Structure 1
Amino acid sequence: MTAAYTLYAKPGFAATTIERLCTEARISNRAFYECFGGREELLQALYERCVDEALTVISKAMQDAPARLDARISAGIATYIDFATSDWRRARIMHVEVRRSGDVLAASRQRAVESFARIVEDETQPFPRSAPFDRHLLALGLIGVLQELLIEWVLAEQPPSTDELVRAAVHIFHRSFSGLS
C-alpha cells in the first residue's frame, strides 16, 4: 500500500502497472494478488482509508470547536484542507486520481461524498431552516467546492495557499448557509 500511495499519486493511477507496484514494493505479483484483486481494488483501499481518516479528524475538530455554526463549519473546513494538503499524495489520490480511475471507484466516491455531506447536514440541523434551498443540496455544493479548490491546489502551476483555500471555502459556506445561523 505504501508503494501504491506514492505511485498512484505520481506518475498516477493510469501509469502505474501491477509490475511497477510489485517492483516498488519488493513483492511478487502472486503476493500482490493474494491481497488485492487488481490495481483498482488497491486504489479503492487507499482512497477509503484516506476518507475514513478524514472523517475522523473532521468530526473531532468540529466537536472541539465552539458550539456556533460558523465556528464548527470553519473548523471542519480548515481541518479537512489541512488533512488533505499535509501530504500531497493524499490530496492527489483523493481529488484527482480517484476521478481518473473512471467508473471503478464511482460507488466509493459517492459514499464518501454522502458521508461528508451528512456531517454538514448534521451540523446545520440544530439551526432554523430559513435557507431557500434543500440542506442536503447545499451540503453537496460545499463538498463540491472543497473538491474543486483542492484540485486547483494539486494541479495549478502556482497553487493557492491553504489559507486562501480555507478563506474561499468558508466564505462560500457562509454565503450559502447564511439563512441558517
Structure 2
Amino acid sequence: MTAAYTLYAKPGFAATTIERLCSEARISNRAFYECFGGREELLQALHERCVEESLAVVTKAVQEAPNTLEGRIKAGIRAYIDFTTADWRRARIMHVEVRRSGDVLTLSRQRAIDSFARLVQEASADFPQAAPLNRRLVALATVGALQELLIEWLLSDDQPDIDELVDTAVHIFTRSLGTPDTRG
C-alpha cells in the first residue's frame, strides 16, 4: 500500500505496473496477488482509505465548529483542505488519479462525492437557504467546486496559496448555501 501510495501519485496510476509496485514494495508478484486482484483494486483501496480519513477529519471539525452556517463551512473546508494538502500524494490520488484511472474508480468516486455532499447537506440543514433550490444539487455543486480548486493547486505552475484556496471555497459555499443575510 505504501509503495502504491507514492507510485500512484507519481508517476501515476497509468504508468505504474504490477512489476514496478512489487519491486518498490520488495514483494513478489504472487504476494501482491494474494492481497489484491490487480492494481485497480489496490487503487480503489487507497482511494477509499483517503476518503474515509478525510470524512472523519471534516466531520469532527464541523461538529466542533461554532453552531453557525459560516462557522461550519469555514471549519469543514479548512479541515478538508489542510488534511488533503498535507500530503500531496493523498491530494493527487483523491483528485487527479481517481479521474485518470478511467472507469476503474467511477463507482468509488461517486460514493465519495455522495458522502461529502451528504455531509454538506447535514451541516447546512439547520439553516435557511438563499434560494428555493434542491439542497442536494447545491451540495454536489459545491463539492465539485472544491475538487476543482484542489486540482488547480495540484497541477498549476503558479500554485495558489492554501489560504487562498480556503477563502475561495468558503466564499463559494457561503454564497451557495447561505441565506441572503450571509451573502454580505
Judge same fold: TM > 0.5, yes or no. yes
Aligned to 2:131: 131
Aligned to 2:51: 51
Aligned to 1:168: 168
- State the alpha-carbon separation in 2 of the partners of residues 164 and 115 from structure 1: 25
Amino acid at match of 1:88: W
Q: Which 5+ residue runs of structure 2 have no aligned equivalent? A: none
- State the alpha-carbon separation in 2 of the partners of residues 141 and 53 from structure 1: 22
Aligned to 1:12: 12
Amino acid at match of 1:8: Y
Tell me the CA shift for residue 136 of structure 1. 0.5
Amino acid at match of 2:125: Q
Tell me the CA shift for residue 179 of structure 1. 2.2
- State the alpha-carbon separation in 1 of the partners of residues 111 and 10 from structure 2: 25
Tell me the CA shift for residue 123 of structure 1. 1.0
Tell me the CA shift for residue 163 of structure 1. 0.4
- State the alpha-carbon separation in 2 of the partners of residues 4 and 22 from structure 1: 9
Tell me the CA shift for residue 129 of structure 1. 4.1
TM-score, normalization by structure 1: 0.97
The SS at the match of 1:131 is: coil
Tell me the CA shift for residue 150 of structure 1. 0.4
Amino acid at match of 2:71: A
- State the alpha-carbon separation in 2 of the partners of residues 19 and 32 from structure 1: 10
- State the alpha-carbon separation in 1 of the partners of residues 159 and 130 from structure 2: 36
- State the alpha-carbon separation in 1 of the partners of residues 176 and 17 from structure 2: 43
- State the alpha-carbon separation in 2 of the partners of residues 175 and 129 from structure 1: 10
Aligned to 1:99: 99
Amino acid at match of 1:73: I
- State the alpha-carbon separation in 2 of the partners of residues 24 and 17 from structure 1: 11
**Aligned: 1:147 with 2:147:** yes
Tell me the CA shift for residue 73 of structure 1. 1.1
The SS at the match of 1:126 is: coil
Map Cα deviations across residues 136-158 of structure 1 (whole Å, 9 max, x no partner).
01100110011000000110112
Tell me the CA shift for residue 64 of structure 1. 0.7
Tell me the CA shift for residue 126 of structure 1. 1.2
Percent identity between matched residues is 70
